[in-house]
Amino acid sequence: MAEAAPTIPESLLTAARAAHGVVVLTGAGVSAESGIPTFRDALTGLWAKYDPMQLATPQAFAADPRLVTRWYDQRRLAVLACQPNAGHRALARWQDRLEYRGGRFTLITQNVDRLHQRAGSRDVAELHGALTRWRCSECGQVGEETGPAFAQHPPRCAACGAARRPDVVWFGEQLPVAAFERARRAAESAALFLAVGTSGTVEPAAGLVRVAAAAGATTVEVNAAATALSDVVDHVLRGPAAVLLPRLVDCVTGC
């Protein structure tokens, strides 16, 4: 028999309805029901099949750029074929409603799939880049790539001829400074902070939950399973984001 989704505690709803500043940090789990694999889920996660050190580091790209760009090109095409789900749409709706009432809603994502933007979320702070943005490894020229598979690997820069790479953040690389600063400031001033569909294992993104908690925010985890953040937050909503987020947003915004 299907497990009943948890009820949302009244104390959480009261805090959420009163919150002027709402911050949501999302991870791969929010896109799971759009058909995009997570990274660390035991059987279905990308890192169960592929070694991140051979694909998601600057050293891997230097050693075998062809292998790395082919893998990222396949993932780029896969996310372009996927659609936002009810969880993405609920977050976009929450932003609309809160901003209409004069509140502040900040969506921070570790995801590289752009599904939040396609669902209608605005000003998303992308901490780990985007699969559809590629940049030259030498001159830094950046371009959006929403077309078919690249004709050659690695793709070449039209300006200088050097290899292009996905504009994502690999292990050991700095996060985009402006996006992370905005995320940190939002976490410091949040009344309500939600971590949705993230294992909370990758820094510095995961640390934002602690920043918000230390600054006095009500903190919430929405996740299908227990994580490194479960003991840090005030409330845990256990289940699929595409079910729990619409229910939470409906209860909070009263529609």
- What is the distance between the alpha carbons of residues 71 and 144, in angstroms, rounded to a whole number? 17
Handedness of CA 89, 94, 97, 102 (dihedral sign): negative
Among Zn ion, ligand BJW, none, residue 29 binds (CB under 5-8 Å by kind): ligand BJW
Residue from 110, 117, 218, 219 in contact with ligand BJW (CB under 6 A) = 110
In the residue annotation, 128 being an active-site residue is answered as: yes
- What is the distance between the alpha carbons of residues 197 and 203, in angstroms, rounded to a whole number? 15
Find out whether 223 and 32 touch, Cβ atoms under 8 Å. no
- What is the distance between the alpha carbons of residues 251 and 255, in angstroms, rounded to a whole number? 7
Burial 212-222 (b: 16+ CB within 10 A, else e): bbeeebbbbbb
Residue from 62, 159, 215, 226 in contact with Zn ion (CB under 5 A) = 159
Give me the count of residues in the chain. Answer: 255
Q: Which listed residue (20, 88, 116, 128) is catalytic?
A: 128
Cα angle value 122/123/127 (rounded, 5°): 125
Q: What residues numbered 6-45 form the site for ligand BJW, per CB under 6 A?
A: 27-29, 32-33, 38-41, 45
**Residue whose CB is less far from Zn ion, 91 or 157:** 157
**Residue whose CB is less far from ligand BJW, 11 or 201:** 201
227 binds ligand BJW (CB under 6 A): yes
Find out whether 172 and 204 touch, Cβ atoms under 8 Å. no
Find out whether 224 and 41 touch, Cβ atoms under 8 Å. no
171 binds ligand BJW (CB under 6 A): yes
**Residue whose CB is less far from ligand BJW, 57 or 103:** 57
- What is the distance between the alpha carbons of residues 51 and 74, in angstroms, rounded to a whole number? 16
Among Zn ion, ligand BJW, none, residue 128 binds (CB under 5-8 Å by kind): ligand BJW
Q: How far is the CB of 211 from ligand BJW (least distance, A)?
A: 14
Q: How far is the CB of 218 from Zn ion (least distance, A)?
A: 46
240 binds ligand BJW (CB under 6 A): yes
Helix (H) or strand (E) holding 232: none
Residue nearest ligand BJW by beta-carbon distance: 29
- What is the distance between the alpha carbons of residues 55 and 77, in angstroms, rounded to a whole number? 17
Binding site for Zn ion (CB under 5 A): 136, 138-139, 141, 157, 159-160, 162
Residues catalogued as catalytic: 128
Binding site for ligand BJW (CB under 6 A): 27-29, 32-33, 38-41, 45, 56, 110, 112, 128, 168-169, 171-175, 197-199, 201-204, 223-225, 227, 240-241
